[in-house]
Amino acid sequence: MWGSDSDSRDAKQGRDGKGKHDVSISDATVAVSDELAARDDMIVCREVDKWFGDFQALSGISATIKEQEIVVVLGPSGSGKSTWIRCINRLEVHQSGQIIVDGIELSNDLRNIEKIRSEVGMVFQQFNLFPHLTVMDNITLAPIWVRRKSRSEAEEQALALLERVGIPEQAQKFPGQLSGGQQQRVAIARALAMEPRVMLFDEPTSALDPEMIKEVLDVMEELARTGMTMMVVTHEMGFAREVADRIIFMEDGEIVEVGTPEHFFTEPEEERTKLFLSQVL
C-alpha cells in the first residue's frame, strides 16, 4: 500500500540519522568517548514531546544511543522514564519530534512499526508472560508466528536461551508455577528469542523480592557483555554504576543531565541531580 516512496523515505531518514552525529552529540551526548561516538546510531530521539491530555509527560527529549551502548535512565518516579522507553517501540505514541531506530523512523506507517518492534526487545516491570502458555510456548510464540520458524528450530533456540538465563529445567512449566525472578528471566529469554538488536528494560527488578533481584541483574550484565545495545530504566544504582556506559537523568519529562557513571555519581553538575542522588544513595 505504501509502495516504494516510503522505502526511499526510510532510507533517506536513515542516512539523515547517521549523517548528523555532531548535532546529536552536541545536544545530549556530551560525555561520549571518541570510541563510542564513532559507532553507528541505534536510537535517535529528536525533540520528542508527549502529552497525556493536558499533562506533558515528555518535553523536548533529544538523545542518541549508539550501537552496543548500555544506557541507564534514572530519575524520580513520574519523571517520564517509562513513557520515553515505551515510546521507542510505540507502546505509547509521541505527538511531535522524531524517533529513529536503526535508521527506521517511527511513524504511522504500520510496516515501520512492525519492523522496529521485531528489532527491539522489551522487558516489563510486571513480566507480562502469557499465563496460559508454558514457558517454552511463551518463548517460541513470536519466533513461530512472526519469524515463521519451524517449531523444532524455535524450541531448540528457546532451550539454548533458557540455558543462558539459567533455568533450562523449567521449560514445560507454566509462568504461574515460577518465582518472580524466574519469570523475569523467562521474559528476557522471550524477548531475546526474536534476536533483537536493542533491548529495552522498563524497571525489570522493581516488582521482585530483594533476594531475586540479583539473579535478574546477573542475566542483564551477561547480556551487556555480549555487546547488546541496552536501554535500562531502573532504580538499581549499583547496576547503573557497574554496567552503564552512560547515565541519563530525567525529571519532569526532561533530560536534566547526561554523563558517564563516574561523572554522574561523583561530580554531578545540576542541582536537581545532586538532590536526587542525596535521596537515593
Name the site residues for another protein (rule: CB under 8 A): 89-91, 114, 117-118, 120-122, 124, 126, 128-132, 141-142, 144-154, 174, 176-177, 187, 190-191, 194
Contact 257, 264 (CB under 8 A): yes
Residue 186 and residue 146: Cα distance in Å, rounded? 19
Q: How many C-beta atoms lie closer than 10 Å to residue 208's C-beta?
A: 21
Residue 166 and residue 168: Cα distance in Å, rounded? 6
User: Closest approach of Cβ 81 to another protein, in Å?
Assistant: 16
User: Closest approach of Cβ 260 to another protein, in Å?
Assistant: 29
Q: Give φ, ψ of 16 to 5 degrees.
A: -55, -45
C-alpha cell at 143: 519466533
User: Closest approach of Cβ 217 to another protein, in Å?
Assistant: 21
- C-beta closer to another protein: residue 190 or 272: 190
In whole angstroms, how large is the CA radius of gyration of the chain?
Answer: 19
- C-beta closer to another protein: residue 128 or 260: 128
User: Closest approach of Cβ 155 to another protein, in Å?
Assistant: 9
Q: What angle do CA 60, 249, 18 make, to 5 degrees?
A: 55
Cell 533483537, located at residue: 196
User: Closest approach of Cβ 30 to another protein, in Å?
Assistant: 31
Residue 206, classed as helix, strand or coil, is: coil
- C-beta closer to another protein: residue 28 or 99: 99
- C-beta closer to another protein: residue 26 or 172: 172
User: Closest approach of Cβ 67 to another protein, in Å?
Assistant: 20
- C-beta closer to another protein: residue 51 or 174: 174
- C-beta closer to another protein: residue 117 or 246: 117
CA 200 to centroid of chain Cα atoms: 2
CB-side neighbour CA atoms (13 Å) of 260 = 6
Contact 140, 154 (CB under 8 A): yes
